Amino acid sequence: MIKRIGILTSGGDCPGLNAVIRSVAKKAINNGVGVVGIKDGYEGLVQGKGVRLSYRAVSGILTLGGTILGTSNKADPFHYAIKKRGKFIYKDLSRQAIANFRKWKLDALVVIGGDGTLSIGYKLFQKGMPVIGVPKTIDNDLMGTDITFGFDSALRVATEAIDKLHTTAQSHHRVMIIELMGRNAGWLALYAGLAGGGDVILIPEIPYNMDKICERVLGRSRRGKRFSIVVVAEGARPCGGKKTVSQIIKDSPDPVRLGGVSKVVCQAIEKCTGLETRVTILGHLQRGGSPTPFDRILASRFGDKAVDMILKGKFGYMVNIRGTKTGSYPLRLVQNRQRKVKPNCEIVKVARAVDTSFGD
């Protein structure tokens, strides 16, 4: 008998998190199951920060961005950062997390997040905790599912930004570079670049040649097209080169923060072509705002499926979607892996067919 479940959101925020919380809570309550919302991701699981989620508490949150439970992209129960005398030390506090799970008398835990969150969830499952994963990331890079919620909402923001850059690029006859998120995968830059009519798209999976980019920009200028739009994924790198790192966050499970490659590309284009070039780094705007209708529906479907799996006792799995049907995928196959763009995939071929350059 499932009497009470917990739910947490971990990692970076994105539109659609509240839609999952609402879906899980309402379906669980309708099936006579109590729900405990764990605050600030795995930090709350370690520190014992939980709150009962009533029907009223999750009403009216479908359209809200972010997460009413809060989140953290630093807390890992197995490698928990504690600051002492100005320095960070790391401890395995997974037993403390499990103790809180038992103190709340939970029968299952729904963890909503990306590869880091789900990898931690699988480790907790290995220690005996009944865990169900729900895939969330604007990067769309999780193994085992065709799409993650949050991606479509970020794609809308990125595409609208590219659309707006077109007008100023045309007016001032400039090369406009826009840098998008995505970490080590180029899905967001690829889709937004194609949807927004980007002339050059640079993604991590296809290393770029700076000379090829300059040739494309100059070629457009000579043909009378006196502006160009260059869409750059934050993880893009030159042939034989490395990714651009903006900073290192020492107390984070994933300490490397990518960013700044657009400035490198900007300087190279101006030096090579003499054309006026400007950079826009979209940053956390891609994570904010209300979820798109697609993400609201997908997140609601994921929440519904998660509760179904709990009621059937199917733990150690992530909710997924293949084609039009939701299903499940083993968490052990998700952990520490990323789904990346294949350089010869259909979307890349379509982009090339409309004369988009990938800098190669």
Catalytic positions: 139
State the chain's maximal CA–CA distance in angstroms: 72
Q: Which amino acid is at 233?
A: A
Residue with tokens 């835990």, as numbered in its chain: 109
CA quadruple 256, 153, 145, 53: dihedral positive or negative? Answer: positive
For residue 215, with 0-12 CB atoms within 10 Å meaning exposed, 13-18 middle and 19 or more buried, which class applies?
middle
**Stretch (H or E) spanning 84:** strand 80-84
Neighbouring-strand partners of residue 321: 326
Residue 35 CB contacts under 8 Å (≥ 6 apart), including other chains:
4, 5, 6, 7, 24, 25, 28, 29, 52, 53
Residue with tokens 């101006």, as numbered in its chain: 270
CA distances to 137, 140, 298 from 203, in Å:
17, 14, 26
